[in-house]
Amino acid sequence: MRSTLRAYIIITCGSFIQGMAMALFLFPHAIPSGGAGGIAVLLNYWFNIPLSFALWLVNFTLLASAIKWLGNASTIGTMYTITITSISVHIFSMDIFSHHANVWVDLIIGSIVLGIGVGILLRQQVSNGGMGVIALIFAKFRNIPPGKPLLLLNGFIFILTASIIAWEIVVQALISQWISTRILDIVYNLKLTIYRAPTLSWRKK
- pLDDT, one tens digit per residue, over 173-193 is 889 888 988 888 888 888 754
**Banded pLDDT at 16 (limits 50, 70, 90):** very high
In a domain, 128, yes or no: yes
pLDDT tens digits, one per residue of 82-132? 899 999 999 998 888 877 789 999 999 999 999 899 888 878 767 777 776
Going 166 to 134 to 8 to 80, the CA torsion angle's sign is: positive
In a domain, 52, yes or no: yes
In a domain, 193, yes or no: no
Number of structural domains found in the chain = 1
Please say if the pLDDT value at position 156 is more than 90: no
Neighbours of 60 (CB within 10 A): 16
Higher pLDDT, 155 or 69: 155
In a domain, 204, yes or no: no
Containing structural domain, residue 128: 2-188
* Confidence (pLDDT) at 205: 43
**Banded pLDDT at 140 (limits 50, 70, 90):** low
In a domain, 194, yes or no: no
Please say if the pLDDT value at position 153 is more than 70: yes
The alpha helices in 30-71, defined as continuous H runs, are 35-47, 51-64, 67-70
